[in-house]
Amino acid sequence: MPLFEVLGLTHFFGGLKAVSDFNLTFEGGELVGLIGPNGAGKTTVFNLVCGVYHPTRGEVRIEGRSLARLYPHQVTAMGIARTFQNIRLWPEMTVLDNIRVAHNYRLSYRFLDVILQTSRYRTAEQGIDQRAGEVLEIMGLRDYAEELAKNLPYGLQRKVEIARALVIRPKLLLLDEPSAGMNLGEKEGLIGLIRWIRKEFNLTIWLIEHEMRVVMNLCEKIQVLDFGETIAHGTPEEIQGNSRVVEAYLGKEID
Amino acid sequence: MRQYGLTILAFLFFVLAVGMSWAGTLSSYIQLVLMFVGVNIIMSSSLNLVNGYMGEFSCGHAGFMAVGAYTASLVSVWCFTAGSVFGPNLLPPAWAAVLFPFILLFGGLMAALAGLLVAVPSFRTRGDYLAIITLAVNYIVKSAIENIQPIGGARGFMGMGRVVNGMKEVADIPWMMIWTWIFVFLTILLIKRFVSSTYGKGIIAIREDEIAAEIMGVNTRRAKMVAFMLSSGLAGLAGGLFAHILGYINPGSFGIMKSTEALVMVYLGGMGSLSGSVLSAVFFTLLLEILRPLQLYKWVVVPLILILLMLFRTEGLLGHRELTDVFPRLKHIFGSRGKIDAAL
């Protein structure tokens, strides 16, 4: 059974067809890119997968189970984590609390346990603290744990966001333009980081990216969207040589 | 030892307040003010849960207070006193001493259910629109009570004084002072535990970025429901206490003015600061009493303070911080959870 499937995903915003008949299959372990010009519908695809929108037609499945009509937090609990195009940390919370709160996807205690501070609650919170500490340690963020997220430089905020997604122990990690707003040095670092977390956490990664250097460097396969339609998919070399892709990005030559 | 500092201080205060009331050192006026301080602490810290920690703007807190006040009063009068409304008493009046906290909790429960009136719309709307809904709920509750004639309608409802007298038959101690402050401490403990848990921090994440919270695994609907019900339930407790302290309630006491008072206390103390809410409730209640000679003019002075506060210190006296963050030395007395050390 494939790890993750998207079957004929189609979505309308009013009369506008934002995504049309999108298909994709991950067997597990891939690192695949999703590219396309601005407004092609890349982020919409991610939002449809995460349950932010419900697709007009089509279906998303993880390990054979359908994600139809699930709320985003339920999709998360099924093993899909993501980061955002514009960093969406909780700015007035500390880095540590940002990581802690992500554990809400699977809490083993209830409201009454909190109020009565039962042993179940204390054990669970200890586990959360420990796991949050581990993740911060692995990601080299330990020194920033007590810092408010908004006070961190951009590159580190991105790293915290990835750390927050990793807490969920995802089977599939969606990265929405991870290199946006980064300088050259940070981008190089990011490429290394993505390769490393993929191996370390044994992840399947699907990323949206505008920066061709990052995409061509990282991805084994690339899918290209334009006006919601898949216009090409293949290896980076195949994509680079594809005339429709060049056309979508640069426009058609007028004879 | 360190982490018990606050508990010891609270206990000392409690013993002093109750002891001096019992011995008669405090005049009944001072006692009344002290009890109102307690009621206002519950009101402001519970409203802070929604307005400060969750970042919604609820401006109908008095509506939930009214639900709690009327529920608790009706049940206690029905059970423990003989009167024209409910007929003879169901239970011996002396039993009130033991059953009173349960009646209060029942009032809180009803107020929490009324909180659903706000919680359910909050799934679909937020910000200004939700604020208007909370305002509407305040009016719905107030007008509903005004129009239910058997419980007094706009004239109000009384008889709780006799219930308290029933308790005094058991032992002649300042019962309401005791219950008020016990519930104040329980409220503070409850809110503190809630907002320092991973579960409760979910509502802070909703304030910071609701969509990110939902996508990162926080069940935002459930979190909102819990926060609104907890907040309104505690307001209901405050209402029940208020009713039994005064012995008389009328719907007019639970209007928009009362909600505004709660709002002022929250914003004065600081959004998302529990110690700020407690301090500002104390300060604000005392201020109103000190300004009492000004009569209606105090409602010129108090809003003026609010305007100055908004101009010079928008986040309130202790915005998003606790007293121990402002005065780190206090940690020696109050203690605090070693954050990163606990995690690593």
Residue B188: inside a domain:
yes
Identify any residues that bridge with A26 across adjacent strands, giving them in sequence order: A4
CA gap A164, A136 in Å, rounded: 9
Q: What's the pLDDT band for B328 if we cut at 50, 70, 90?
A: confident
The secondary structure of B163-174 as a DSSP string is HHHHHHHH--S-
Domain encompassing residue A14: 4-250
Asked if the Cβ–Cβ distance from B209 to A89 is below 8 Å, we say yes
**Chain A closest-CA separation from residue B91 CA (Å):** 31
Per-residue buried b or exposed e for B167-180, using 16+ beta carbons within 10 Å of the residue's own CB: beeeeeebbbbbbb
User: Given pLDDT bands bounded at 50, 70 and 90, which one contains residue A22?
Assistant: very high
Ramachandran area for residue A169 (φ above 0: left; ψ -120 to 50: alpha; else beta): left
Please give the angle made by the CA atoms of B144, B154 and B109, to the nearest 5 degrees: 45
Count of domains observed in chain A: 1
Is residue A70 a part of any domain in this protein? yes
| Per-residue pLDDT at B333 exceeds 80 | no
| A50 in any annotated domain | yes
Query: How many Å apart are CA B190 and CA A46, to the nearest integer?
Result: 39
The DSSP 8-state label assigned to residue B316 in this structure reads -
CB contact under 8 A, B214 and A145: no
C-alpha distance from residue B151 to each of A215, B100, B341 (Å)? 72, 20, 56
Q: Do B204 and A90 touch (CB under 8 A)?
A: yes
Asked if residue A71 is part of any domain, the answer here is yes
| A102 with B226: Cβ contact below 8 A | no
Contact at CB, A93 and B216, closer than 8 angstroms: no
Is B344 inside any structural domain? no
Helix (H) or strand (E) holding B259: helix B256-269
Q: Which residues of chain A from 124 to 183 reach within 8 Å of chain B, CB to CB?
A: 124-125, 128-130, 132-133, 136-137, 142, 145-146, 164-165, 168
Chain B residue with CA closest to A76: the answer is B217
Query: For A170-227, what is each residue's pLDDT tens digit?
Result: 999 999 999 888 888 888 889 999 999 999 999 999 999 988 888 888 999 999 999 9
Structure tokens at A101: 């709160």
The answer to whether residue A98 is domain-embedded is yes
Question: pLDDT for B158-179, tens place per residue?
Answer: 889 999 988 888 888 999 999 9
DSSP 8-state class, residue B155:
G
Query: In whole numbers, what is the pLDDT of chain B averaged over residues?
Result: 88
How far is residue A66's CA from residue A4's CA, in Å, rounded to a whole number?
10
Q: Cβ of A52 and B344 within 8 Å?
A: no
Q: How confident is the model at residue B332 (pLDDT cuts 50, 70, 90)?
A: low
d(CA A80, CA A59): 15
CA-based nearest distance B193→chain A, Å: 6
For B191, name the nearest residue in chain A, comparing CA atoms only.
Answer: A115
Cβ-based contacts of B200 with chain A (< 8 Å) = 114
Query: How confident is the model over B90-111, as pLDDT tens digits?
Result: 888 888 888 999 999 999 999 9
Whether the predicted pLDDT of B341 surpasses 60: no
What is the mean predicted confidence (pLDDT) over B199-206? Answer: 95
Nearest CA in chain A to B202: A101
**Domain total for chain B?**
1
Statement: residue B10 has pLDDT above 90: no
CA B255/CA B265 separation, integer angstroms: 16
Q: Which domain holds residue B141?
A: 2-336
Q: Is the minimum CB–CB distance between A96 and chain B shorter than 8 Å? A: yes
Report chain B residues whose CB lies below 8 A from the CB of A94: 339
Q: Do B194 and A165 lie within an 8 Å CB cutoff?
A: no
Q: How far apart are CA B117 and CA B134, in angstroms?
A: 8
Nearest CA of chain B to the CA of A255: how many Å? Answer: 48
- Is residue A255 in a domain? no
For residue B238, being part of any structural domain is answered with yes
Chain A, chain B: beta-carbon pairs less than 8 Å apart: 116
User: Minimal CA–CA distance to A156: which of A144, A166, A170?
Assistant: A144
pLDDT of residue B338: 40
Put simply, the answer to whether A129 touches B342 (Cβ < 8 Å) is yes
Cα dihedral A75, A79, A80, A84 sign: positive
Check residue B126 and give its pLDDT. Answer: 82
The region of weakest confidence among A50-54, A141-145, B340-344 is: B340-344
User: Mind giving me the DSSP string for A29-73?
Assistant: S-EEEEE-STTSSHHHHHHHHHTSS--SEEEEEETTEE-TT--HH
**Residue B337 clears pLDDT 60, i.e. is over it:** no
CATH code of B95's domain = 1.10.3470
> Are B217 and A102 in contact (CB < 8 Å)?
yes
Residue of B nearest to A145 (CA): B340
Interface contact B215-A52, CB threshold 8 A: yes
CA of B85 vs chain A CAs: smallest distance (Å): 37
Which domain CATH number covers A125?
Answer: 3.40.50.300
**Phi, psi torsion values for A32, nearest 5 degrees:** -120, 140
Interface of B with A (CB under 8 A): 190, 193-194, 197-202, 204-205, 207-209, 211-221, 226, 320, 339-340, 342-344
How far apart are the C-alpha atoms of B282 and A240, rounded to whole Å? Answer: 69
With CB atoms and an 8 Å threshold, state whether A93 touches B340: no
Q: What is the largest CA-CA distance in chain A?
A: 77
Q: Give the other-Cβ count within 10 Å of A197's Cβ.
A: 19
The answer to whether residue A91 is domain-embedded is yes
pLDDT digits (tens, 9 = 90+) for A41-100: 999 999 999 999 999 999 999 999 999 999 999 999 999 999 999 999 999 999 999 999
pLDDT at B1: 47
Indicate the range of A117-126, B134-143, B228-237, B332-341 predicted with least confidence: B332-341
A154, A185 Cβ separation under 8 angstroms: no
Pick from B204, B218, B226: which is nearest to A73 by CB? B218
Q: Inter-chain contact B209–A90, Cβ cutoff 8 Å?
A: yes
Residue type, B8: I
pLDDT at A239 over 70: yes
Exposed/middle/buried for residue B263 (C-beta within 10 Å: 0-12, 13-18, 19+):
buried
Beta bridge partners of A33: A207, A222
